[in-house]
Every structure is written in structure tokens, then in C-alpha cells.
Amino acid sequence: MAPKLAISALLLLLVIIQALFVKSEPQISKSLQLLEGARKGYTFEGLNQVKQYLKAFGYYSINGSSHTDSFDDVLESALKSYQQYYRLKVTGRINSNTLKKISTPRCGVQDVFNDSDDDVKFSMIANYSFFNGMPRWNKRQLTYMFRSSAFVISDQKFRPITTSALNKWAAVSNFAFREANPSDIVMGFHRRSHGDNFPFDGPGNVLAHAFAPRDGRLHYDADENWSTSNAIRQNQIDLESVAIHEIGHILGLGHSEDPNAIMYAYFSPGTIKRNLGRDDIDGIRALYSN
């Protein structure tokens, strides 16, 4: 009896240790893993996936041919900008750290927009960013409502999480939020293609996206394993953390290069990140000063 119990306990411990390991290592899809070491001048099967990924987030320029598997100059320069943005070693090659980053779940909003004169000025001095042309709300009292095309959680569960996320921004700005119908902001869960030219991709990778002011649409990918409690499991995505980030977009913030900022594009499953960083606060205040 006793040895059996000890063996069970040992097995349980091993399972826990394994679980801890899995947590720290983002899942890299098998096909992507084969691209490790890829560099300019060669052709690699499946490389177009990386081009399309970099294109979706604003790195791979329209001049490149994103549907071929050849490693061209455009891809090399796109990889360098991506590596620089995410503070990876800037090699212009597909190394393991770059693949690891690419395999981590993230927000669907692009990181870099066309360089217009105002954007360049800001990106030189700060980690935070704005959308092209710095679109803003022209009022500070905003209304919101829930409208989903896929069921994930009830509005009763959705409401307190949303309120808490909105309050984080209200606390550091002049914004106030109130539920109403019709509303300025419409948030909800959607699956795959959902009518806005930015289809979701099933479990993993893109978790959510939102549009710049004064659009107000905020969409969560219904296929993620969303967590709505404080007791998050290792493979789950904390809804409130993502909500705070997406509301940042709704208000006009782009992505931040600061990993501590809420507006950083990547999210680790199994973690909770519900506090605005210094950079987020600086960003919203810079956008709405005067």
C-alpha cells in the first residue's frame, strides 16, 4: 500500500514538473520548426508562412512576393526589423529565438504602420505608438455594448471583466465608460471569418484585435481557451489581460516595444497581466494631452 502511494506521488510530481516545463516554452508548430537556420538566397518549403506572418504585422513590404518560398532581400530586411522591434539578435535569418517568438500567441493588430512624419517622430523617443495619423476620440464619455456571433461566455460574466478593464484606463485618463445601446464601442466573440477582412485563425496565434478610433470594434477569437477567473491554467488566456490591451487600441494606442507594457503585442498563456505599465500611461496621456 505505502510503496504504491509513494509511486503515485512520484508520478504526480513528474507530471507537475513536466507541466511547468511546457509552460515556459511556447509551442512551435512542426512545419515552422523546419525553417530554423533559413537565410537569404535559398528556397525553403513553407517559408511563405513566415512572409505572410511578417506581412500581416506590417514588416514585410508590398514589394516582396509573399506567396513564394524563396528567401529574398525583402524577407531579410523584414526579419531584421522584426528582430529589432522584439529585441532579438538582429541576424536577418530565421533562428530559434525568432521562431519561438513567432509561435507565441499575440494580438492581431499590426506592429508597424506606414511611416508618416508624425509616427517617426514618436517612435524615436518612446516605446508606445499610435495608429497612422494619430486618430483619437473627440469626446471623453464613451459607451459600449456586447455583441457576439459565437458563444463563449454569458454577458453576465463578460460585464465585470470588461468593467474592470475599462476602469484601468479610466483611472489614468479623462475617459469614462457606460454601457448603452447603441454605443461607440462594440465588443464580442467571433470565430474564423466574421465580416471584417481579418478572419480569426482558430486556437493559438492571434487572440483578438480591435480597430483604431473612432471605429470602436473589439473582437475576441472565440476559439481560444479563455480564462475568466484568477485561477488561470497553464494553457489558458486571461480575458481581462487581453481586454485591457484591446481597449488600448480602441482608445488609439498602437503596440509598444516595452515587454512590460500592456500594449506589448505578445501574451503568454497561463499568465495574468492586468496592470498598466508606465509606458501605457505615458502613451495615453501623450495622445490626449491638450
Ligand X SMILES: *[C@@H]1O[C@H](CO)[C@@H](O)[C@H](O)[C@H]1NC(C)=O
Under the criterion CB under 6 A, does residue 84 sit at the interface with ligand X? no
CA pair distance 162, 187, nearest whole angstrom: 9
202 belongs to an annotated ligand binding site: yes
In the list ligand X, Zn ion, none, the entry touching 233 (Cβ below 5 to 8 angstroms by class) is ligand X
Interactions with Zn ion, residue window 141-200 (CB under 5 A): 196, 198
Under the criterion CB under 6 A, does residue 127 sit at the interface with ligand X? yes
CA pair distance 127, 262, nearest whole angstrom: 12
Interhelix angle for 73-85 vs 47-56, to 10°?
60
Residue 64 or 216: the one with the smaller Cβ distance to ligand X is 64
Q: Which segment (32-40, 65-73, 106-114, 149-157) binds Zn ion by CB under 5 A?
A: 106-114
Q: Let me know the angle formed at the C-alpha of 89 by 65 and 209, rounded to the nearest 5 degrees.
A: 60
Residue 114 or 182: the one with the smaller Cβ distance to ligand X is 114
**Local structure of residue 114 (DSSP, 8 states):** -
Annotated catalytic residue within 76, 179, 246, 257: 246
CB 141 within 8 A of CB 170: no
CA 209 to mean position of chain CA atoms: 8
194 belongs to an annotated ligand binding site: yes
Active site residue 246: yes
Residue 63 or 290: the one with the smaller Cβ distance to ligand X is 63
Question: What does the block give as the cell for 70?
Answer: 524563396
Kindly tell me the burial class for residue 142, based on how many C-beta atoms sit within 10 Å of its own C-beta (0-12, 13-18, 19 or more). buried
- Which of 35, 56, 94, 109 contacts Zn ion by CB under 5 A? 109
Under the criterion CB under 6 A, does residue 221 sit at the interface with ligand X? no
Q: Which segment (8-16, 28-36, 58-66, 156-164) binds ligand X by CB under 6 A?
A: 58-66
Q: Residue 147 — left, alpha, or beta (φ > 0 → left; ψ -120 to 50 → alpha)? A: beta
115 belongs to an annotated ligand binding site: no
124 belongs to an annotated ligand binding site: no
Interactions with ligand X, residue window 132-151 (CB under 6 A): 132
CB 126 within 8 A of CB 279: yes
CA atoms within 13 A of residue 136's CA, in its CB half-sphere = 14
Binding site for Zn(2+): residue ranges?
107, 194, 196, 209, 219, 245, 249, 255, 263
Q: Would you tell me which residues interact with ligand X (CB under 6 A)?
A: 58, 61, 63, 113-114, 126-127, 132, 225, 233, 235-236, 258, 260, 279
Catalytic residue ranges: 246
